[in-house]
Amino acid sequence: MTRMPTKRRRTKGSGSIVLRGNVYWIEYQERGRRLRESAHTSDPEQAERFLKQRIGEAAASGDLSPSRATVHDLCKLVLADYELRGLRSLDKLRWKLGAHIERLLGNLPAERFGPGQVRQYIQVRQQEHANNATINRELSIVHRAFVLGTREEPPLVRRAPHIPKLEESDPRQGFIEQDQYEILLAHMPPRFKCLLVVGYHYGCRFGELRKLRWDQVDFEAGVIRLEASQTKAKTPRVLPMYGDVREWLERQREMCAGKLVFCYRKCADKITKAGRPAVELSFGRHMDGWDEACAAAGFEGLLFHDLRRSAGRNMERARIPRSVAMKISGHKTESVYLRYDIVASGDLQDAGKRLEEYAKQQTQRAKLRRVK
């Protein structure tokens, strides 16, 4: 009569040994997988020692199983992915993870993350006055973390949970007209004037302009050349000088004759960390003084990014081919570019007048046909 395999009961996590015929086999967990192998012995004590050896080797490897992985562990996968791909938003990701995501979810076991935790996260962030768009972006990072977790070998999580999106408000519709631009320019402090001029004419991002160097400004050819490493889309752009751009760039060169185009005035009273006078102070990530200047000009709340919308609409009014306008502003897709082409009330009134004239012409032509 054939002897049936017998399995000895054990505490959870300590594995098990099974007698098959005259030989013991061991079973244990490693990186979320259930492994079985022969102990090559009929002695239960030797099988026990072999099992403990294998469990110790698995524990020493430091690998995570799905039951042990936390949201923090999954977020580390997102950081590694950003570093591997060389994404320039890595610093922003680190800040979002540390300031909000890991603060609220970091210690939570990944297997326990579900709809209840999503709702709780949203409630806390809304109480902290975060808007829906910001919360959606943060939860997108969490979802990406779970997706990467499922792709590990073996997977750290079994599935990526569904995270519904909150309804977001319409895209911001701030922009300025030519007369408003001139008023704003008059109220801007010297360090912002040329920056305002270039931003209004080309719709460049602030992050692109703060890296601009004088060797990229070609006065002889009348162009400004942005390198691929400076642009968000990672594609080089050539901006033709027009309007009062050349004039203001020449003024800026007198004020900032160093390496960077946009900087503060040379200040002998500013001292660097090394104890030497600061020859050239570049703009940081924030435009200190911009909000105050806009408020003084009567445009409180105006963002530098609103100049990007104004430039897009001006190029549409000038009937510049859309493909050319997108190359100047740096838009990769037409759908995003069209969000910046905002119709002003004056444009609507002008369209109404044209339609009225067209209707009158059609009425007159109809009368002439009846007479004939």
Candidates 128, 145, 134, 263; CA nearest to 195 is: 263
> From first to last of its 372 residues, what are the pLDDT tens digits of the chain?
444 455 554 555 577 888 888 888 888 776 666 778 888 888 888 888 888 877 776 665 554 455 578 999 999 999 999 999 888 788 899 999 999 999 999 999 988 898 999 999 999 999 999 999 999 999 999 999 999 999 988 788 888 889 999 988 765 667 788 889 999 999 998 888 999 999 999 988 888 888 899 999 999 999 999 998 888 888 899 999 988 899 999 999 888 878 888 875 444 344 444 444 444 445 555 677 888 889 999 988 888 888 888 888 888 888 888 888 888 888 777 766 666 555 555 555 566 667 677 777 877 877 777 776
Strand order in the sheet with 223-226: 217-218, 223-226, 237-240
286-to-94, 137, 249, 299 alpha-carbon distances in Å = 18, 21, 22, 18
Local structure of 221: helix, strand or coil: coil
**Whole-prediction pTM value?**
0.58
Q: Which residue has the tokens 């004939």?
A: 372
Q: State whether residue 271 is helix, strand or coil.
A: strand
Q: How far is CA 134 from CA 24, 129, 144, 306, in A?
A: 57, 10, 16, 19
Angle CA 136–142–148, to nearest 5: 135
> Which of 127, 126, 164, 129 is closest to 143 using CA atoms?
164
Domain parsing of the chain, residue ranges: 6-60, 71-151, 178-346
319 half-sphere exposure, CB direction, 13 A CA radius? 0
At the topology level of CATH, where does 178-346 sit? hpI Integrase; Chain A (1.10.443)
Quickly count helices (H) and strands (E) in the chain.
Answer: 15, 7
Packed helices 245-255 and 190-202: angle between N→C axes, nearest 10 degrees = 150
